[in-house]
Amino acid sequence: MTVHRYGIQNCATEWGYCSGQVYADPFNEIELDVVFTDPQGSQWRVPAYWAGANEWRVRFAPRSTGQYSYRSECTDASNADLHGQTGTLQVEPYTGDNPLLRHGALRVSADGHNLEHIDGTPFFWLGDTWWMGLCNRLRWPDEFQMLAADRVAKGFTLIQIVAGLYPDMPAYDPRGYNEAGHPWEAEYARIRPEYFDAADLRMAWLVHSGLVPLLVGCWGYHLPWLGIKKAKQHWRNLIARYGAYPVLWCLAGEWDMPYYLAEDKKAAQAAQQRDWVEIGKYVASIDPYHHPMTVHQGTRPQEPTTGETLFDFQHLQTGHGGFDSIPNTVNVLRAESSREPAKPAVEGEVTYEGILEGSRQEVQRMAFWTVMLCGGAGYTYGANGIWQLNREGRPYGPSPHGASWGDTPWTEAYRLPGSTAVGLGAKLLRRNAWWQFRPHQEWVEPAASTENYYLAYAAGIPGEVRVIYLPKGVTPWGKPTLVVGLEPEINYHAYYFDPQNGDEYDLGNVSGSERWQVPINPVMKDWVLVLEKAPVRAPQPYRD
């Protein structure tokens, strides 16, 4: 019998298959795929996930309208309940206003510099870090939904979240449990569907809110405990559950960092580098959507021998030293964003606000602006207290090494001003064709360099827009700051943008000269100088 179903373009549709044949260990004994054929004749082999007992479920997000056909394929071909089941799926266009569903999942842009939706719409990556966001220390639904709404209101577009096997804890630590417990049974015998049923609610809410999940499979040092076979099963389950969403994959967090208490760290690191490459190849081979995949790395760029070619974009981690992390951040970003062929480089973790009782809002502003003006394809914010989800009176506590990163509750951390500042910065950049921005340090004198990282940073589009970040501002007693190389035939309109609160200060028109001396700032601190090709709208205070 052929079953006729209906779906919506880019939206997950789901149904189940129940087996009349009983298996002693169904998760480990069989696998089920459903092969879809789209109206153009292309095939999509979609893994189904084990839903418990003798049920498997498939989720599929069709990327085009029209009629699909499908057929189930089970590794136990003798089971007629699971193998050879056929049907059609009639897909209608999405007519809502969710940008993730209207424009579709993400891919790397043709020029290799940024990420974009599958319909070609550029995607601005402004991420927030909720590493442990699937655990029960962020309660569902009220707290999770409230935090998501706050981030949407501030302009965030992406959430980094780990699939239950977390950093800074040993295996099976109760601090990582959600309402249903741990993702795996004892000794990794099999996954626990009830854990992922609870996680589904959170993941679906992110997408509902217009937030792209960057799903981290696990922290890298869990691999020796899982083993390669179980790590592949873990990833197959994630692809089956969440591949139908507009997700990005992060193979592992700190992928080659050994467990804190490992006896032979050098050997452990070498094994993780080798084995994660094998798992990455497996993930790429079974993901029918080919979602962009990366790996969360340390402070050094990856080497080709560690499987760099597997990864579609670079996800950088450049330190937690406050202003002291800026030089490394700039150096790594410049190296990664100038590679040929181009590959997007996003800042995935840097100097969380409040970490080590430092890295306050002025550090957050400088980190954001240096990344975005040095060729970064995106910026990810983090707040100490959110990533580990401290609660009032119930802090996360010590990491395996015995020290604690701090006790600030997430209910305080989400209000830290750095999150507002990076959101304002993103909104400013999005006024122009930010995806066409390229670094142009030659546009400003004096410019930041390896001799002084605290001078000006410039980027933009020649003849259209110039954006210059001034970490120390322009003071009456300092060396004059000059915008140079101005096109004599272009009439620019200039204004100062306050990266702290979004206010603007009109500086009038700039034209007829290749060099322009920048006026002193309204207040002595960091500022963003913007020159836009006239005519432009009148500057005004920027408030949401």
Cα–Cα distance for residue pair 70/416, rounded to 1 Å? 49
Write down the pLDDT at residue 308. 62
Write down the pLDDT at residue 537. 52
Tell me: cis bond preceding 341? Omega within 30 of 0 counts: yes
Mean pLDDT for each 10-residue chunk of the chain (544 residues)?
Answer: 92 98 97 98 98 98 98 98 98 98 98 97 98 98 98 98 98 98 98 98 98 98 97 98 98 95 94 92 97 80 57 94 97 91 95 96 98 98 98 96 96 98 98 97 97 98 97 93 94 97 96 90 96 70 36
CA distances from 162 to 175, 203, 219 (A): 13, 11, 8
**How many CB atoms within 10 Å of residue 85?**
18
Cα–Cα distance for residue pair 8/415, rounded to 1 Å? 37
The answer to whether the beta carbons of residues 226 and 259 sit under 8 Å apart is no
Angle at CA of residue 161, ends 99 and 381, nearest 5°: 75
- Beta-bridged to residue 43, according to DSSP, are 37
Phi-psi region of 383 (alpha: psi -120 to 50; beta: other; left: phi over 0): beta
Helix axes 417-429, 361-373, angle to 10 degrees: 30
Q: Which domains does the chain have, with CATH numbers?
A: 2-92 (2.60.40.10), 123-436 (3.20.20.80), 440-533 (2.60.40)
The answer to whether the beta carbons of residues 382 and 340 sit under 8 Å apart is no
User: Of all helices (H) and strands (E), which one includes residue 26?
Assistant: helix 26-29
The answer to whether the beta carbons of residues 58 and 46 sit under 8 Å apart is yes
Write down the pLDDT at residue 298. 57
- Beta-bridged to residue 8, according to DSSP, are 92
**How many CB atoms within 10 Å of residue 502?**
19
DSSP string covering 134-199, please? TSTTS-TTHHHHHHHHHHHHHT--EEEEE-S--SSS-TT-GGG-BTTB-SB-GGG-SB-HHHHHHH
In which residue are the tokens 């057929």 written? 71
DSSP string covering 329-386, please? HHHHHHHHHT-SS---EEEEE---BTGGG---HHHHHHHHHHHHHTT-SEEEE-BTTT
